[in-house]
Every structure is written in C-alpha cells, then in structure tokens.
Structure 1
Amino acid sequence: MKYRTYLLLVVATAFWGVGFPIAKIGVEYIHPFSFAFLRFSLVFVLFVLFFKLSLYNLAEKLFLNFKLLFLMALTGIFLYGIFFLFALKFAKASDVSLISGANPIITAIIAWIVLKERLTPLGVLGICVSFVGIAFIVSKGDLKTITTLNFNLGDFLMLLATTMWAVYSVITKKALRGLSTTEAVCLSSLLGALIFLPLAVFKGNLHLTYPFKAWASLMYMVLFSTIIAFSAWYNGIKEIGATKASVFVNLVPVFGVITSVVVLGESLSFYEVIGGLFVIVGVVMTNKRVSGEHRLQKQ
C-alpha cells in the first residue's frame, strides 16, 4: 500500500512538472488570457462531472464562503495564471519550473507572517539557501545581473506567480475549514474563469479554431495537470499525511527540467543545475521545520 501511495505522489508531481513545457507549447498558439479562461472553465465542468458534485450544494457553499473563494480565485487562479503563462512566453520552461520549486519556501514565509506558524533556525537557513538558488537561476549564474536589475522578465514574472500561489495556499488553509478540498478548487476555478472571461473576449482573441497541438496542450493542463494530479496527490496525502507528501514537491522542477530538455530541446545550463540544487536543499531543510512541529503536536 505504501509503494502505491508513493507512486501516486510521484505521478502527481510528474504531471505538474511536465505541465511547464506543455503549457509553453499552448501559449504559443492561444493567448494566455484565453488559455486560462478555457482551462479553468473546463476544470470546473469536469470537476462537477468527475466528482459528481451537486450544483445546488456548490451554489450554497459559494454564497457562504464567497469572500475567501474570491480571494483564492484572484490569487491562485487569476494572478497566478497571468504571471505563469506570460512567464512561459518570455523565459525557458526549465527556468520557470526551477523557480516554481521555491513555492514551499515562500509559503512558509507567508504562513509565518499571516498564520503565525513557527519558524526554526533550520527553517530560516533553508529559506536563505533556497533564495540563493533562485538568485542563481534568475541571474543566469551572474549575480551582477540582480544588482543592475538586468534579469529576464519571464523569471521575474514566475517569481510573482510563485508568490501568488503561496498566498493562495495560505488562504486555502482558512477556506478548507468550511469546504472540502474538491469544493474549494472547483469553485475557485469557476470564479477564476469568470474573472478571465472579459480579458479573453476583448484582449485574448478568444475562438475555438486553434490548431490540434494547442488543444492538446490545453487538455493536458486540464486533465493531467489538474484533475488527475489533484486526485493522485490528495489520495496520497490521505495515506501518509501532508508532511511526508510535501517532500515529493521537490520532484516537480526535476520533471519540469527533464521534459523541457526532451520536448522543447532546451539546453540544461550550469546555473540551472546549481540553482536547482540549492532550491531543493532549502525546501528539504524548511520541510524539517514542519516535521518538527508535527512531532511536538503529537507529544
């Protein structure tokens, strides 16, 4: 059973990691606004069908939890979607996936500020190590790039996207007190799609005659990177808990980089290897903070 659980978690992180280069293919043909609108509209519809959710119950939950759900949609769907998809237009998919690996670090900082979650000296050190890795990736190995603010726009946008996802994660912790995870993701996807709708229509040249590879990219992000990955991830968490499962997040940038090299033909640079290692080591150190807290709570 444990090996099956580990397999589920690896599958989820693989689908998320592969999503970076796959989404990059999609936004070459579909405007990011339209891509995001179509993705989250389909996510909502398929979530309702796949999980057999009651529309009446969803409407009631939306009314009772509208403020939190709107904030989730604004940060984790709308702002994250804009920054992420435009980052893919300006930066290598491998760089974008590596920068995304810092999400647990940024989440830990925001949770410390907003939720007053405890940070140990090891956790602080892990945050510093990860940010050194991010700086190495963003500067392409030349730290003078940061002091002169001469870095790639896509890398900067991905940092903003990662921050928005971290804010979304913290808000989700509060929202889940009155909603199931499935309901929260489903309803925030609906609101996110509605926010994207006017931009998709008036700025995104929305239509349905995109080439096959664009639709294939979109459907991958809907089916594999969202619904299947979501299901596998939370089934894994049910078996071994969120603390142990969080370690598997480190595989996301690994799968992202490998797929970017294989699918898009991107070259793997020295700065990406060094920076990626720093990010992953920092995340592991910060996760030790979480494990320590859980042990204290059990005593």
Structure 2
Amino acid sequence: MNRTWWAALGLAATTFLWAANAVVSRGLVGHMPPISLAFWRWTLAGAILIPLTWQSIRSHWSLIRPQLPWLALLAVLSVGAYNSILYMAVQKTTAINTALMNTLIPMTTMLAAWLMLGARPTARQTGGMLLGFVGMIVIVSKANWQVLASLAFNHGDLLMLVAVGCWALYSVLLKKRHLGIPPVTLLAVVVMLGVPMILPFYVWEWSQQGGFAVDLTNLAAIGFTGVFASIVAYLLWNHGVGILGPSAASLFIFLMPVFGALLGVTLLGEALLPYHGIGGVLILAGLVLGVRK
C-alpha cells in the first residue's frame, strides 16, 4: 500500500509539472518556435543525464543492445513525437480545447492496455475515469455547458489527438515489456535515441522561421522543461506506470486542470470559484476510486 501511495504522489507531481509545462509552452507562443523548444528541452535533459549514467549504460549494454528497436519505438512516441506535437498544437488551438483533448488520454490508455496487455479495466478504474472526466469537464467549462456548445475545433485539435495517441501507446508499451534497465539509465537511453529524431524537424523549422532570442525568458523555459518537465516528470511517470499500471496511472491526467487553476490563482491572481472546488472534488474522488486496490 505504501508503494501504491508513493507512486500516486509521484504521478500527481508529474501532472503538476506537465500543467506548468503547458502554461510555459502557451506563454512562449511568438517567442520560440515549438520544435525549437522540444529540441533544446531534450538536448538539455540529455546533457544532464548522459554523463550521470554513462557508466551504467556501459555496464547494462548487454541488456540495452538487443532491445534497441524497442527503446527506439519508446523514444519516437515520447521524446520524438509527443512533446513536439503538443507544442505545435498549443500554438493552433485554445487552452480549453487542449484540456478537453487531454481527457482522452485515460480512455485511450485503458483501451490500448485492454487490447495490447489484456488488462481489462476494473469497475473501480472505469468509475474513477468517469468521475474524473465529469470533474474535468466541470472545471474546463466553468460549469457552463454553453461554453462546450460554443467550442470550435481546428487542425490544432487534430494534432492534439495524435499526441494523445502517442502518449497512450508509450505508457502501454512501457509496461508491456520488462526491460530490466535502471530507470534513470532507461530515460537517458531513450533521450539519446529521441533527440536525433527531432533534429531534422528542428533544422527545417529553423530554415523556415529562423531561430529565437537567447534571452532570460527563453532560457528559463528551456531550463524548466528540460529538468523538471523532462527528467523529473518522466522518471516519476515511468515509476508510477510500473507500480500502478498504465490504466490507473493515466487517471492522474485529470489533475491537470486542477493544477492549472491553482497556478492561475497563484501566479496570475485569478479567482478561485465554486466550480473549481466541485470539479476538484470529483477528480480526487475518481483518483481514489481508480487507484485503490
């Protein structure tokens, strides 16, 4: 039980960091192109991880080498695709639409886990997902259903759907195969494989849009996303998936609007309104229901 709750706390921390990551990426629209942020974020993460894990990579090479195709697939879905597509999507769609698209991650992950792992969702997990979904809709819509009725969707939302699919597959494939590689070493290898996949798209973006200003705002964004939203968040997520499984872990995505509201209150001076509380209670109830054995 202690392992379960520590994993749950780690997943909650991950969701908080990703909520902050979404705020940062939207704030950089017009300051830094999306692929540039993805490339330098993961380059920084690799520059930190690889020297720390080099000896471990060498000592575990007999395990790593035969699994390189599998690790490359994990790198494509996570480092290469998910964040790059997400950053492109937030430049083309609204914060509300982005949050709504994120509600599909738990559902997509549960379906993929059922099809690929034979892990049929339990009644608790299904009930937790439904409660979390309702709570997230309450927060995103501000308890006003006309907000949802007036939504318009564009190709940015289609990009978000692709990102959602990539993350669901990554979470399920991470659980499908026991790699036997230490977590930090695994992340370092995935980053090493993923950064070269982003490089051609970064070069193309640079040729089309140019670079970005090397100022305090952009450097701080790269620093935060490279250390906290990449290294810390991914280690916690991978650990949580290993303990709870992809279906239960994915339920924590519903916390993103809760943390987004708290960040808005703390950083932007926004008001904390009753619908925040109602939605937050429903989401927390869904998490407790879906995670407890």
TM-score by length of 1: 0.72
In structure 2, the gaps of 5 or more residues are none
Separation in structure 2 between the aligned mates of residue 46 and residue 229 of structure 1, nearest angstrom: 15
Alignment correspondent of 2:218: 214
Mapping of residues 274-289 of structure 1, within 5 Å: 282-288=286-292
Letter in 1 for 2:27: I
Alignment correspondent of 1:202: 204
Structure 1 pair 71/7, CA: closer, same or farther in 2 (3 Å)? Answer: closer
Mapping of residues 160-239 of structure 1, within 5 Å: 160-204=162-206, 205=209, 207=211, 209-230=213-234
Letter in 1 for 2:183: T
Alignment correspondent of 1:17: 19
Letter in 2 for 1:214: N
Separation in structure 2 between the aligned mates of residue 269 and residue 89 of structure 1, nearest angstrom: 27
Separation in structure 2 between the aligned mates of residue 8 and residue 61 of structure 1, nearest angstrom: 30
Contact 2:252 2:287 in 1 (8 A): no
Contact 1:97 1:257 in 2 (8 A): no
Separation in structure 1 between the aligned mates of residue 158 and residue 275 of structure 2, nearest angstrom: 16
Contact 2:184 2:235 in 1 (8 A): no
Q: Return the offset for 1:35.
A: 1.4
Structure 1 pair 270/83, CA: closer, same or farther in 2 (3 Å)? Answer: farther
1:255 alignment partner, one of 253, 259, 266: 259
Letter in 1 for 2:214: Y
Separation in structure 1 between the aligned mates of residue 66 and residue 118 of structure 2, nearest angstrom: 26
- More moved, 150-159 vs 273-282: 273-282
Alignment correspondent of 1:294: none
Contact 1:48 1:54 in 2 (8 A): no
TM-score by length of 2: 0.73
Separation in structure 2 between the aligned mates of residue 18 and residue 36 of structure 1, nearest angstrom: 15
Q: Return the offset for 1:24.
A: 2.3
Separation in structure 2 between the aligned mates of residue 200 and residue 19 of structure 1, nearest angstrom: 20
Structure 1 pair 74/107, CA: closer, same or farther in 2 (3 Å)? Answer: same
Letter in 1 for 2:19: G
Separation in structure 1 between the aligned mates of residue 270 and residue 84 of structure 2, nearest angstrom: 23
Letter in 1 for 2:42: F
Q: What is the Cα-based RMSD across aligned positions, in Å?
A: 4.1
Mapping of residues 79-228 of structure 1, within 5 Å: 79-93=81-95, 96-97=98-99, 99-100=101-102, 103-128=105-130, 137=140, 141-142=145-146, 144=149, 150-204=152-206, 205=209, 207=211, 209-228=213-232
Deviations 1:163-184 (A, max 9, x none): 3111101111134433232232
In structure 1, the gaps of 5 or more residues are 292-299
Alignment correspondent of 2:35: 33
Deviations 1:243-276 (A, max 9, x none): 7x95766544322333246546888899988777
Contact 2:32 2:212 in 1 (8 A): no
